Homo-oligomer: A and B are copies of this chain.
Amino acid sequence: MSIDKSSFVPPYYQLAQILERQIKSGVYRPGDPLPSEAELSEKYGLSRMTVRRSLSQLARAGLIRTEKGKGTFVSRPQLDRAVFVMDEFHKEMASRGLTSSVRLLEARLVPAPEKAAKKLQLPPGTKVLYIRRSLLADGEPMAYDRKYLRYDRGRPILENELQYQALPEMVEKHAEALPASSKMVLQVTLLNEEEARALHVAPGSPAFLLEQILVASDGRPVGWGWCLYRGDRYQLTSVPEALQNLG
């Protein structure tokens, strides 16, 4: 186990791999201290900065933890913790090998309903852009999306832009603020008749309910709505611990 300085793999990465193998094979067990940075530096013929880079990579991956003045220790794997990632719909479907498409069901200006006005911090009845879309995977409906968006600019709504563009881009086009962050809440729900019809399933079927609020950089909400994902075709898979913070 030593560093090959002629390799294309940089030394900091080689050392990280060596230590990772040693941890996973039980040379160092949870709670054990790793050799000090000075020792690793001497043993592998690397500068301390380089050793530290290896260690910080392992720390980001959750394998080790450093304690000031004390040392570096192997972490206990966090098995009761799960991280789920919901990617943008097209990417998500593409990674499952499905071809995705979007069907626009409705897009018009409406007076904001009470709840939408509240969420968008607008006076009730303000004109907002209301959009209903079907998100399809291999031609079959996978999700049903309904959103209320601020509509400051008075630009005409072009049907084709709604079919293909992601929501953040639609907000940019039709509202003055450009969205900077979003808050999402994931719940479960039973589909009512309208929702079930849109998703081609029976009323009362279970589904994921993803509530989304788009927020501008000045903190103002610029979009709000929900997206329903069919419970029989959609699931979330946990991200492996080691990949949670970069590999």
List chain A positions with a Cβ less than 8 A from chain B. 24-26, 49, 60, 77-89, 166-168, 179-190, 204, 206-208, 210, 214, 217, 231, 235-238, 240-241, 245-246
Contact = CB atoms under 8 A, between A and B. Distances in A.
5 smallest CB-CB distances across A and B, nearest first, come from A188-B231, A80-B88, A184-B238, A186-B236, A188-B206
Given A79-B168, A245-B245, 15 more contacts: A24-B180, A77-B168, A77-B181, A79-B179, A81-B86, A81-B87, A82-B184, A84-B84, A84-B86, A84-B184, A184-B238, A188-B206, A188-B207, A189-B206, A204-B204
B167 A79 contact: yes
14 contacts: A79-B166, A79-B179, A80-B88, A82-B86, A82-B184, A84-B85, A181-B241, A183-B238, A185-B235, A186-B238, A188-B206, A188-B231, A189-B231, A245-B245
Contact of A180 (B77, B82, B179, B204): B77
A195 to B, nearest CB: 13
Contacts of A188: 188, 206-208, 231
Given A181-B240, A237-B185, A238-B183, A246 B80 contact: no
Contacts of A217: 24-26
A78 B83 CA distance: 17
A109 B129 CA distance: 59
Contacts of A24: 180, 217
Contact of A84 (B80, B186, B189): B186
Nearest to A84: B84
Given A168-B79, A180-B77, A186 B235 contact: yes
A185 B238 contact: yes
A80 B85 contact: no
Contacts of A85: 81-84
Contact of A166 (B26, B80, B82, B168): B80
